[in-house]
Amino acid sequence: MPLAPTDEMVRAAQRRRSGVGAFNVVQIEHAEAIVAGAEAAGLPVILQISENTARYHGALEPIGLASLAMARAAGVPVAVHLDHAESTDLVREAVELGFTSVMFDAAKLPYDENLATTREITSFCHGSGVRVEAELGEVGGKDGAHAPGVRTDPGEAREFVAATGVDALAVAVGSSHTMLTRDAVLDFALIAQLSEAVPVPLVLHGSSGVSDADLAQAVQAGMTKVNISTHLNKIFTQAVRDHLDGHAGVADPRKYLGPARAAVTAEVARLLRVLNGA
């Protein structure tokens, strides 16, 4: 199946009031598991590669090209997205490689600088048919706009989208990145207000910390793209631990990475069904 345009996938979900799962690729097994999970569920999915992951691999190209190849060979629509890129050079590289969307994260900059830089990047990406996601909110350490207690203002969000021309907006509604427990408290009333104020699809970052029931409710309230990374990494790592605990003499990494990949496949399929009300 051809590589799926992110914008078409997310806009269609927005119209249906359903969610699109966007799962982070750390290594090739993650990409394989995410695609296999989407195929098992019969639902579209977004493969995400973060700037941190590109740095881990030494470059974006190897893991990016592998993910693009898997997306093109998938039996369901799969898009490939650059996540949390602060480097404009990395954004340009993603566009050249053929990514279908990028998230340019200028949330650490003052509002006016965030707006101006995001507008410039959006203009560049649109020239190549690549869609842009941005983040708006107060900076608070690694959590960025999603630090506890920080919220996105609907009026400011409306103005930001209109001024920058971005295609999706990550908003702060109570979730936080890298949570190891699923007990984040979302502000569903704010999600609904933001959905009314902003014409583009809303994105929930830090969704690993959100329960199944609250993920489903967030989608019904107006959230569309749902990013999940840490939750899958926990499952992947636990499967590796379990296998090594029971097979102390194993040396072939395929013996323990295989079960980890299978565990993530099953969870991706399950989460996609949750986001689609199945």
Distance of CA 20 to the CA centre of its chain: 9
Instruction: Name the catalytic one among 83, 105, 167, 187.
Output: 83
Residue 72 structure tokens: 């093109």
Cα separation, 146 vs 67, whole angstroms: 27
Residue 112 structure tokens: 């006016």
For the question of residue 83 being annotated catalytic, the response is yes
Cα separation, 190 vs 197, whole angstroms: 10
Give CA angle at 129 (192, 54), nearest 5°: 80
Cα separation, 164 vs 120, whole angstroms: 8
Residue 119 structure tokens: 């507008």
Would you tell me how many other CB atoms lie within 10 Å of the CB of residue 129? 10
φ/ψ (deg, to 5) at 20: -110, 125
153: left (phi over 0), alpha (psi -120 to 50) or beta: beta
Locate tokens 């565990």: which residue?
263
> Of the candidates 166, 118, 197, which has an alpha carbon nearest to the alpha carbon of residue 6?
166
Would you tell me how many other CB atoms lie within 10 Å of the CB of residue 208? 23
The catalytic residues are 83
